[in-house]
Amino acid sequence: MPDSRPLIVTPGEPAGIGAEIAIKSWCAGHRDICVIEAPDRMAEIAATLGTPIAIKTITHPDQFNADQDVLHIMPIDWPVPPIAGSPDSRNGQVVVDAITTAAKFCRSGAASGMVTNPIQKSSLYDAGFGYPGHTEFLASLGQVDAGGPMMMLACDDLKVVPLTIHIPISAVAGSLSQDIIIAAGHLLDASLKRYFAITAPRIAVTGLNPHAGENGSLGTEDQDIIQPAITRLQQTGINITGPHPADTLFHAEARKTYDAVLGMYHDQVLIPLKTLDFFGGVNITLGLDFIRTSPDHGTGLDIAGSGTARPDSLMAAIKMARKMAAAAQALST
């Protein structure tokens, strides 16, 4: 039975491009979304874009009707009228409240998942936001699986998970451990089964050093940390291989041999993905007790209000969230 529940799209930073790309996504045919925003503001932006739309305000996902040719909006009020390109911390609490509302409806089962527009962290910090970022805040709103929350970046041709994320490259080696790799491997395997309908996932693990350490001559982390962790994961029945030299892991023939890559650091796996599909990458948070995807870009303050923002990544995030929801629903029936 098709899932009639909506995906909830959060506003993100109101001075950014979130509202614009949400409207463009809806106009492109993504009618399974409900946007948390100010209805008058959305109507004004749509008119400015030359795509006037019909809007229906609702207060609960149960009121969503995908057969109606309207953009469903859960209304909010911005304390300060948003100005394109100029974040105002006085709107920060409303941004946070919208994320909380979306997570609540997802966790209750009223919504299929949430798609989060990018936030401006500096603006939220000025408003008293006490979390390093979006992901950590979402993790605080529900149950988190072992190894989570964990970031996956995905496009049609590649799925990658960076084991370490926003830390200096000089800190990566010291942040690795067998336990961290093992927890990530279990979570990635379970997530590929649950959300991507891959019954027997194949996971490839990169090495840390050039040539995966070349038998210890280029660094010992690959032999001392990564390889033993892979062996322990294999002993639990997970189909996982490595450590592979990262420079030979992402060409077309290599990508046929695995379903996802577990990498050691941010740029090691994000550069290949963004090279393959710069505009269509999706940020997915694994390990939460609800589905969350996000565009793989920032708030776009430099182009906000110009009408030139591309909705590709948001549309890909909507499609990905719907695909994940369908796979999870099929698994549970």
Amino acid at site 217: S
Mean pLDDT in residue range 207-229: 93
- Provide CATH code, domain 1-143+289-333: 3.40.718.10
Condensed to tens digits (0 to 9), the pLDDT of residues 270-294 reads: 999 999 999 999 999 999 999 999 9
Instruction: Give 113's strand partners.
Output: 7
Rounded average pLDDT over 229-244 = 98
**pLDDT computed for residue 322 by the predictor:** 97
- For the segment 38-54, what is each residue's pLDDT rounded down to a tens digit? 999 999 999 999 998 99
User: Tokens 């932006």, residue?
Assistant: 45
Task: Give the DSSP per-residue string, 103-163.
Answer: HHHHHHTSSSEEEEPPP-HHHHHHTT--SSSHHHHHHTTS-B-TT-SEEEEEETTEEEEES
Mean per-residue pLDDT over the chain, rounded: 95
For the segment 198-206, the average pLDDT, to the nearest whole number, is: 98
> Residue 133 has what pLDDT?
85
Is residue 301 predicted with pLDDT exceeding 80? yes
Residue 171 clears pLDDT 70, i.e. is over it: yes
Banded pLDDT at 77 (limits 50, 70, 90): very high
| Predicted confidence band of residue 22 (pLDDT cuts 50, 70, 90) | very high
Which is more confidently placed, 313 or 127?
313
Q: Domain 157-276 belongs to what architecture?
A: 3-Layer(aba) Sandwich (3.40)
Give the 3-state secondary structure of residue 208.
Answer: coil
Residue 203, pLDDT > 90, answer yes
Q: In 3D, which of 328, 323, 327, 314 has the Cα closest to residue 282?
A: 314
Closest CA to 300 of 127, 95, 119, 91: 119
Q: What integer is the mean pLDDT of 98-123?
A: 96
Q: Which residues contact 210 (CB under 8 A, 6 or more apart)?
A: 218, 245, 247
Residue from 291, 307, 322 nearest 107 by CA = 291
- On the question of pLDDT at 333 being above 80, the answer is no
The DSSP symbol for 288 reads: B
pTM recorded for the entire structure: 0.95
What is the predicted pLDDT for the residue at 331?
A: 86
- Rounded Cα gap, residues 259 and 82, in angstroms: 42
**C-alpha span between 333 and 330 (Å, rounded):** 5
Q: Is residue 160 predicted with pLDDT exceeding 80?
A: yes
d(CA 203, CA 224): 20
Beta-carbon-side half-sphere exposure of residue 256 (alpha carbons within 13 Å): 2
pLDDT score recorded for residue 4: 87
Q: Is 280 in contact with 25 (CB distance < 8 Å)?
A: no
Q: Is the pLDDT of residue 189 over 70?
A: yes
Percent of the chain with pLDDT over 90: 90
pLDDT band at 1; cut points 50, 70, 90: low
Question: Which letter does DSSP use for residue 6 in this model?
Answer: P
> Residue 3 — very low, low, confident or very high, per pLDDT cuts 50/70/90?
confident
pLDDT tens profile 130-155 = 998 899 999 999 999 999 999 999 99
Looking at the chain, the domain(s) classified CATH 3.40.718.10 span: 1-143+289-333, 157-276
CB 290 within 8 A of CB 106: yes
Confidence of residue 230 (pLDDT cuts 50, 70, 90): very high
Taking residues 84-92, report their average pLDDT: 96
The mean pLDDT of 192-199, rounded to a whole number, is 97
Per the CB < 8 A criterion, the answer to whether 205 and 261 are in contact is yes
115: left (phi over 0), alpha (psi -120 to 50) or beta: beta
Give the Cα separation of 271 and 264 in Å (integer): 13
Confidence (pLDDT) at 186: 98
